[in-house]
Amino acid sequence: AQSVTQPDIHITVSEGASLELRCNYSYGATPYLFWYVQSPGQGLQLLLKYFSGDTLVQGIKGFEAEFKRSQSSFNLRKPSVHWSDAAEYFCAVVGRGSQGNLIFGKGTKLSVKP
């Protein structure tokens, strides 16, 4: 069955430190890959997406993600975290031949220490 795994439920980093959030997927073929962010009480905002081509993709707010086909992974990174990055982050996939319904991971909650 198709699934997305985010192994870290909660991560705490210090402001200014680097960040990596892990995401692994299980899918028949390489899906489209997404990272969304949800701030408390807010909806979901798209950070970045990968369809094909360059495996390192840049997104908004200084985030980037790297697709590794051999590891079925799509990890999210940021070189220097800001306090405003505290939020919940969701990795999601969509099957290329599907109607577009997203399959989400369980999310990783990011806390930022001053």
Partner 1 sequence: DSGVTQTPKHLITATGQRVTLRCSPRSGDLSVYWYQQSLDQGLQFLIQYYNGEERAKGNILERFSAQQFPDLHSELNLSSLELGDSALYFCASGGLETQYFGPGTRLLVL
Q: Which residues bind partner 1 (CB under 8 A)?
A: 32, 36, 42-46, 49, 51, 90, 92, 94, 96, 98-107
Instruction: State the minimum distance, in angstroms, from the CB of residue 46 to partner 1.
Output: 7
DSSP 42-105: --EEEEEEE-SS-SEEE-GGG-EEEEEGGGTEEEEEESS--GGG-EEEEEEEE-TTS----EE-
Nearer Cβ to partner 1, position 76 or 81? 76
Instruction: State the minimum distance, in angstroms, from the CB of residue 29 to partner 1.
Output: 14
53 CB-near residues (< 8 Å, 6+ apart): none
Q: How far is 112 from 17, CA to CA, in rounded Å? A: 9
Instruction: State the minimum distance, in angstroms, from the CB of residue 93 to partner 1.
Output: 11
Question: Contact at 8 Å (CB) between 89 and 37?
Answer: yes
Nearer Cβ to partner 1, position 63 or 90? 90
Nearer Cβ to partner 1, position 90 or 112? 90
Instruction: State the minimum distance, in angstroms, from the CB of residue 42 to partner 1.
Output: 7
Q: How far is 48 from 10, CA to CA, in rounded Å? A: 21
Nearer Cβ to partner 1, position 47 or 81? 47
